[in-house]
Amino acid sequence: MKVDLSSDFKEKYRNLMGERADKLFDAIQQDSQEAFRLNPLKPNFKNVSYSLDQPLEYSNIGYFGEINGNSIDHLSGYVYSQEPSAMYVTEILDPQENEKILDLCAAPGSKTTYIASKMASKGLLVSNEINTKRAKVLSSNIERMGISNTVVTNNSPKDFEKKFGQFFDKILVDAPCSGEGMFRKDPESVKYWSLDYVEQCANRQQHILDSAYKLLNNGGSLVYSTCTFSPEENEQNVDWFLKKYPDMHLVDVKKYSGMEDAKPEWGNDNPELSKALRMFPDQFNGEGHFMCKMVKDGDVEEPKERQISNNLKKDDLKFVRKFAKTNLTSLNENNWLRISDFLYQAASLDNRFKGLHILRNGLKLGEFKKNRFEPDIAWILALKPEILKTVFELDDDQFEKYLHGESIILKERPDFDNKWIGLSYQGKLFSWGRYSNSQIKNVYPKGLRR
């Protein structure tokens, strides 16, 4: 599909890039590069059906290749399709276990799920998205990847300022932008582009960066990234930010083949800007991106947590323990939190979250119904097989039927002494099944069936 670039866009980049602009325009007309990454939160995470022969130079879990969204590797959260240049943002952020990290503009979840995969379910990741529809997509992607240490919120950055103060060790601002770097991946986005739209995006990004500064702890790191070429949204915004907050400073980020220094001449000739990086598709095998890392001076202040009540009712423990005794080999009772009729293994019980619009707090374990507890699919996607008393491996025909919403009739009566079993296909857990009288009843969520 031909990308119809406007005359204003071409004129702008010919003025900025000279003869190289035509190479950029040609690259925008080429096919976008597909890539995916593995999920180290899963057991035997490299056991996938996709080729691992083309690894990315800068990621030990990223590979070139295209993913089928209906494959078991995708449905069970073993793989995530992500544009190759976008993967480097998380590598720059360098998440560590037990840190408090905020992804301030997180939907649809590509970068947030990458961050979580590096945290090994330890520490706290807050993934925020201001757009409600996109926040729901974010939450579902976190669920599919079996992530348990994340709070998903649907708020404006300003809402966080009132609640948290200098709380986070690391913050990612993957800012909403004019999207020039994604024109060939999403040709429809060209229709929204204008010189005025670029200015609007740059202004909005400044407000987001203001909030990020107030939420970042001393000694903490802020990674700012966009998927646009625009100097107004990149070098000029970073230069503005550094001048406004002199206790923030840029640090060098490693540049791999095809990556370039950002352009000081596009940002008021601030020489520090060369520490940031750019990716242009005429030089780099991926889409257009800008990325930089900034550190806040000062001594780290350890914020004190103030815990909320877990809201558990009198018989809640009894119902879950009864379920676990029959169906599980062990049960982790840490950080349980009841929200309405649902039980979560909360990522945080800190009352700073009180009053925010929370879509998911940690791992959704299940639902309390009349005198019983029923498990949620999020739980099975996060469980290791050895935690389940019974894992039943489906064959090709059974797998297809189950995805269509059918129950599985077993020819031979198995020796199951439990009602809830884990269902696996090609060695990957993907759903609960409810066993009764030689039949595995279908409990796969209707929204996931095909």
Annotated active-site positions, please? Answer: 227
Q: Strand 358-361 to strand 372-375: parallel, antiparallel, or no bridges (unpaired)? A: unpaired
The answer on whether 276 is annotated among ligand-binding residues is no
**Half-sphere CA count of 280, side-chain side, radius 13 A:** 18
The answer on whether 59 is annotated among ligand-binding residues is no
Q: What H or E segment, with its residue span, contains residue 170? A: strand 168-174
The answer on whether 201 is annotated among ligand-binding residues is no
| Segment 195-204 long-range contacts (CB within 8 Å, at least 24 positions apart) | 195/8, 195/12, 198/228, 198/230, 198/232, 198/233, 199/232, 201/175, 201/176, 201/177, 201/228, 201/230, 201/232, 201/233, 202/230, 202/232, 202/233, 202/236, 202/237, 204/175, 204/176
Residue 150's alpha-carbon distances to 66, 147, 157, 187, 348, in angstroms, are 27, 7, 17, 33, 8
The answer on whether 109 is annotated among ligand-binding residues is yes
The answer on whether 165 is annotated among ligand-binding residues is no
Q: Both tokens of residue 345?
A: 């293994």
Q: Please report the DSSP string for 248-310 in residue order.
A: EEEE-----TTEEE--GGGTTT-GGGGGSEEE-TTTSSS--EEEEEEEE-S----PPP-BPP-
Q: Please report the DSSP string for 1-25 in residue order.
A: ------HHHHHHHHHHHTTHHHHHH
The answer on whether 178 is annotated among ligand-binding residues is no
The answer on whether 129 is annotated among ligand-binding residues is yes
Amino acid in position 387: I
Q: Would you say 77 and 115 are in contact if contact means Cβ atoms under 8 Å apart?
A: no
**Residue 326: other Cβ atoms inside 10 A:** 12
Can you say which residues are annotated as belonging to the binding site for S-adenosyl-L-methionine?
Answer: 105-111, 129, 174
Can you say which residues are annotated as belonging to the binding site?
Answer: 105-111, 129, 174
